[in-house]
Structure formats: structure tokens, C-alpha cells
Amino acid sequence: MPILVLPWVDISYPIHLLFMIKSVITLLFAFGTIAVFAQAQTNISGHINGEISSKSIVADTIFFTHGPLDDKYYTNGLASSPLKANHYIIDNNLPYPQMYKIYFASDKNILVWRKGLYFVDATTTSIQTNYLADNCSLVNGITAGEYQNRFIPFATKGVPYDCKSEYLSDLFYNNDYKVDSLLLKYVPQNRSSYVALWLLAGRFSSFGQSALRQQTLVEFSAEIKSGRLWKTLDEDFKNSKIKENETFPQIDLKTLDLIATKLVLPKAKYTLIDFWFARCRPCLDTIPALKKLYAGYQHKGFEIVSISVDETVNVPIWQRRVKEHGLTWPQYLEENNFRINELGIKSFPTFILLNSDGKVIWKDFDLDDLDVFLKKNM
């Protein structure tokens, strides 16, 4: 703190003047304290000291990745650093808090990225990565502190949290609507939370627009809404082609015989849109359940429309799969994923339920949930 030099004060000064001088000293001291505190909160070195725990590493490279999120949400992001004797240094010039995943060069052909979430901001000076339990890694700084001390207790309320369980990291890649309900409850209590905003961006990137996610986006503070991340995410929500409570878009497709056509929705009380592709193992695993639902509810007004996103080279495999599995409902092809990013379909299979007017009434569910819904409503 700078030294404050004051003129000698004669005790013969009027008493009110002495009080005035005392007030000035107090005020200047307070400003100095604030300045020192502000410096302590900012990473003035411009870099982060990283350390790897739980495994001895002679040499490797650590990479900070966006994971499934689009590059456009990031700016001046972290990149990579050589790793020597369990230590590394990486530049930190982040203009706003950002969320990362990591992986190592030695993870190639084993992992795309590790599961832990790293919230890094301008106040972050150190990261300790637990090599064997990534969710147990420690990041300092304001945003990481919120994640550890406020968000995790909120999200795991009533459930003992063990960072080695990967419970929390798996939770946000689950399409259960309860996860969105959790965020919607958290944000009004923490309206300037970059933690919640990044998790919402991750939900949108993985599963697209939903009414709950749209409602959560609106709840953030004016300060957050003035920032790049919120504005980019808001624009993506507005540009979503498939939105809850709105009509499913009429898109150009091909039939099973590769004839160009437009999507024709069947006349039904409820129609399930199924996005899949021929080499998608999880998609193929759902076929028995789809056939069971179709057999059980078609006569009551339930229909299915499947849209494959196969590349041209795999189209014959798609046609063969349809015949092998005896899929009797309408089959369409969106060749080479041409419009899938535009439609916001990021995972497969993706199921979307429409009402008799062709409006989207439900997204992000599994077929067991759909069976319960159909039993109740048909």
C-alpha cells in the first residue's frame, strides 16, 4: 500500500478541522485497502500454474478443450501446455469466465476428453488436476469457488457427493428434464452465475432448445445479459428450428427409395420423430422398444416417423437395416447430416413428440417415459 504523507498538524487547529483530517485519513486508508483487495482478486501474472496429482508424469501435453460446446462461445481461450515433472504453466488472458474440459496427449485413441469441469476466470492462478479422479481436481478463483462451494451443494442436496463417483459430470449429459429444472431453480437465486450460464450452454449444445432452458435463459441478471456468452446463447435459442410449443419444420428429405420429397406428417394424435443413423449402436438398441410402442399404440392414434442422417456411403446399410428390422412406419433420409446442425440435433437417437397439430410438445425423454405418457393420454 502506498505510504500516506500528511503535513504536521498543530494541536491548536480548530477541533472540526482535526475531525476533517481524520476523516480524510480514514477514507484514503479505505481506498487503499480496496485497491489492494482488487489486486489480490486479479491474476496480474497473466498465467496459471498447473500441477498433476495422483500420478507421476515425466513428460506429456495437457490440452484445454471446449468439449461438445461450439467455439463461438469462447474467446481468447486456454490452449495447451507442455507438461514436465507433473507441472505446467499456461497463459490466462480470459475476458470473462469460461468452462473447459481437459485431455492429455497420452489420452489419444483412449479418451476424447476427461469428465471434470474446469471453471477458469481472470482470478484463477492455479489448477491441480487429479489424474485418476478428474472430478476431484481443484481450481482456484471466483467462478470455480462458486461451483465448488455453492453449486455442487445445491445440485446434490440430500445426496452425499463423492467426487470420485462422476455423478455430477454425468448428470449434465443426461437428457432428463429434471436437470433443467435444477438450473431453473438455481439461477433466480444466483442471477449473475457464469457457472449456471455455461451449464445451460452445455445443455443447449447437447439437446437443443426446450421451454425450461428458454425460461432459465431469461432469469439471468442484466450484467450477464450484456456479456458475449449470454448474447451468443440467446441468438442460438432464437435461431433454433425445433422449438417446444411451435410447429415442427417442414424439411426436404428423401424416401427409402431415395426420391426427393418433403416431410409429410401422418394424421395422428401423437407422432414420434426419431432421428437416428444406421451405424448408431444406441439407436439400434432402441428399435425393439420402438416396435413395441408402435404395436401397442398405433391403433389408438400413435405414429412414428424415423429420419436417418446417414452419409451417402452408408445409405445402403440404412436401407438394409430398415428391412432387416421390419420397420413399417415412414422412413426418411437426411443425407450427410445436411441440415442437422441447423435443426439443433446433437445426439442420437433424438426423440421429439408432436401433437395432432404438428407442434412440438416434448423433447429430451427416453422411451420408458414415453410409454408412461401414452398409457396416461391415449
Q: What is the pLDDT of residue 15?
A: 37
Confidence of residue 43 (pLDDT cuts 50, 70, 90): low
Question: Rounded to a whole number, what is the distance in angstroms from the first to the last CA of the chain?
Answer: 73
Closest to 23 (Cα-Cα) out of 38, 6, 40 = 6
What is the rounded average pLDDT of the residues 164-183? 81
What would you report as the CA-atom Rg of the chain, rounded to the nearest whole angstrom?
A: 27
Q: What is the pLDDT of residue 29?
A: 37
What is the rounded average pLDDT of the residues 351-363? 95
Q: What is the pLDDT of residues 248-283, one digit of tens each?
A: 998 999 999 999 999 999 999 999 999 999 999 999
The answer for residues whose C-beta is within 8 angstroms of residue 40's C-beta and 6 or more apart is none
Percent of the chain with pLDDT over 70: 88
List the alpha helices (DSSP H) in 81-193.
142-146, 152-155, 167-171, 177-186
Confidence of residue 363 (pLDDT cuts 50, 70, 90): confident
76 versus 88: the higher-pLDDT residue is 88
The answer for residues whose C-beta is within 8 angstroms of residue 55's C-beta and 6 or more apart is 131, 132
Confidence of residue 44 (pLDDT cuts 50, 70, 90): low
What is the rounded average pLDDT of the residues 302-320? 97
Q: What is the pLDDT of residues 87-134, one digit of tens each?
A: 999 999 999 999 999 999 999 999 999 999 999 999 999 999 999 999
Confidence of residue 41 (pLDDT cuts 50, 70, 90): low
Burial pattern 124-150, b for ≥16 Cβ within 10 A else e, equals: bbebebbbebbbbbebbbebbbbbbee
Question: By three-state DSSP, how is residue 375 classified?
Answer: helix
Confidence of residue 371 (pLDDT cuts 50, 70, 90): very high
Evaluated on CA atoms 222, 227, 228, 233, the torsion sign reads negative
Q: What is the pLDDT of residue 7?
A: 28
The Cα–Cα gap between 266 and 330 comes to 9
Confidence of residue 333 (pLDDT cuts 50, 70, 90): very high
